Amino acid sequence: MQDIKELDLKGLEERLLFLGAPKYHARSIFDWIYRKGVSDFGKMSNLSASLRKELAEEFKILGIRELSRQESADKTAKFLFRLEDSNLVEAVIIPMKRRLQGSGDSRSFTGCISSQAGCKFACGFCASGMKGFRRNLTRGEILDQVFYLKNGVSGGNLTNIVFMGTGEPFDNYDNVLSAVRLINSPSGFNIGARRITISTCGIIPGIEKLAKEDLQVELSISLHAADDKLRSKLMPVNKKYPLADLIRCCREYIAKTNRQVTFEYILIKDINSDPASARRLVSLLKGLRLAKVNLIPANFLPELKIESPERLQVNFFKECLTEAGLEVTLRKERGQDIDAACGQLRLKYENC
Ligand code: SAH
């Protein structure tokens, strides 16, 4: 059965015509699915009973199933999904500090979604790669996660999407970009492109391709080390795309798009968080016109012997960058009590 989320509006219009139904119903079907969160054709009350029946025979609306949901005291919620072939993926909703303007108590949430089942990149600090790679997610499976997250938010709205769950978005470029277009589309989830972040471990051809898309999405680079020796150790992908090439590519991306690039840097105790590492980071990024650093105290991962440095060291590292004139943010740790770090929930589940 075909996943209806593989179709864009025009594609669905064509299918409706083929089924002998007026094409304007495509808009209302999109409205039911992406705006109202309806996953059952039977509930699409403005469509005729016969069309509803025909659609249900022709299409499925959701391809993934929610297996578990854990909510943290801070309203972070982690979802574990089962794909139709029994692979598992996870996604998280994270409350943002900011309240929505003029909406009283309503909060804004970020959805963190996966692009692949498993991951081939085997970064030394990330649980996602520990079980190896399974497969790319389809566009429909990526959109399914957004569907569940949007409907899982209570007391607020899903306003932002980040591709920072499991997998490498640029290793599944076409499905990710196609999903992004629907997430962004006014007839789809209608989330502004500037509120959608693609995070990459540094796949240069992906960055080059994104620069040519007509899309204002945010780009994050998982950097985590400012010298090739350490970065290759932490992130084997660095052997293929070393720092000088990566930074050159980012410079070209900035020049072409005029958009800021965010460099993610996990602070790991005794590995990359000393003052010399901070200085190396400054010299690597100085001269990039629109760059920002997002520091992330590492989530504790006993399996990989990864832990965060002391608070004082985190603050000192941040200070070094700020003093050198870099724009820096420090990511707040959230969802620690529910293992919301990358890959942790799936790992636990599969180890049971
Ligand atoms: N492959 C892409 C998308 C995955 S996002 C990429 O590499 O960017 C990966 C992000 O997960 C990292 O940048 C980091 O923000 C987070 N992450 C992974 N392991 C972590 C850990 N132990 N502690 C904190 N954050 C972690």
Q: Is residue 308 classed as helix, strand or coil in its secondary structure? A: coil
**Is the shortest distance between the CB of 296 and ligand 1 below 6 Å?**
yes
Q: Is residue 107 classed as helix, strand or coil in its secondary structure? A: strand
**Residue keyed to tokens 């569940």:** 148
Q: Which of 60, 79, 106 is the last residue of a domain?
A: 60
CA distances from residue 95 to 76, 106, 164, 308 in whole angstroms, order as listed: 6, 11, 15, 22
Q: Whose CA is nearest to atom 18 of ligand 1?
A: 126
Q: Which of 41, 60, 79 is the last residue of a domain?
A: 60
Nearest one of 257, 224, 249, 258 to 123, comparing CA atoms: 224
Read off the pLDDT of residues 206-246 as tens digits, 9 standing for 90 and up: 999 999 998 999 999 999 999 999 999 999 999 999 999 99
Domain identity same for 81 and 22: no
Domain identity same for 28 and 101: no
Q: Quickly count: other Cβ atoms within 10 Å of residue 32's Cβ.
A: 20
290's tokens: 């629109």
Domain identity same for 179 and 328: yes
**Is the shortest distance between the CB of 29 and ligand 1 below 6 Å?**
no
Residues 6+ apart with CB under 8 A from 239: 232
Distance CA 254, CA 272 (A): 26
Distance CA 350, CA 151 (A): 26
DSSP 221-254: EE---SSHHHHHHH-GGGGTS-HHHHHHHHHHHH
Domain identity same for 143 and 262: yes
Q: Which of 14, 40, 60 is the last residue of a domain?
A: 60
CATH of the domain at 19: 1.10.150.530
Domain identity same for 43 and 171: no
Instruction: Confirm if 254 and 260 have CB atoms less than 8 A apart.
Output: yes
Show pLDDT as tens, one digit a residue, over the chain (352 residues): 999 999 999 999 999 999 999 999 999 999 999 999 999 999 999 999 999 999 999 999 999 999 999 998 888 899 999 999 999 999 999 988 765 555 555 789 999 999 999 999 999 888 877 789 999 999 999 999 999 999 999 889 999 999 999 999 999 999 999 999 999 999 999 999 999 999 999 999 999 999 999 899 999 999 999 999 999 999 999 999 999 999 999 999 999 999 999 999 999 999 999 999 999 999 999 889 999 999 999 987 787 788 999 999 999 999 999 999 999 999 876 666 666 655 555 444 443 2
Specify whether 90 is catalytic: yes
Domain identity same for 301 and 153: yes
Domain count, the chain: 2
Domain identity same for 114 and 176: yes
Distance 296 CA to ligand 1 centre (A): 9
Nearest one of 96, 24, 32 to 62, comparing CA atoms: 32
**Is the shortest distance between the CB of 257 and ligand 1 below 6 Å?**
no
Distance CA 108, CA 256 (A): 31
Domain identity same for 16 and 74: no
Instruction: Confirm if 295 and 308 have CB atoms less than 8 A apart.
Output: no
pLDDT of 351 reads 38
Instruction: Confirm if 133 and 116 have CB atoms less than 8 A apart.
Output: yes
pLDDT of 331 reads 80
In sequence order, the β-bridge partners of residue 292 are 262, 327
Q: Give the domain extent around 213.
A: 65-350
Domain identity same for 53 and 69: no
Domain identity same for 175 and 268: yes
Distance CA 2, CA 79 (A): 24
Domain identity same for 43 and 160: no
Q: In what order do the strands lie in the sheet with 291-297?
A: 65-71, 77-82, 88-99, 107-112, 156-163, 196-200, 218-222, 261-267, 291-297, 327-330
CA distances from residue 143 to 61, 256, 302, 326 in whole angstroms, order as listed: 10, 29, 32, 35
Domain identity same for 52 and 132: no
CATH of the domain at 258: 3.20.20.70
pLDDT of 336 reads 60
Could you identify the atom of ligand 1 that is nearest to the CA of residue 127? 19
Instruction: Confirm if 313 and 277 have CB atoms less than 8 A apart.
Output: no
Residues 6+ apart with CB under 8 A from 282: 320, 321, 324, 326
**Is the shortest distance between the CB of 166 and ligand 1 below 6 Å?**
no
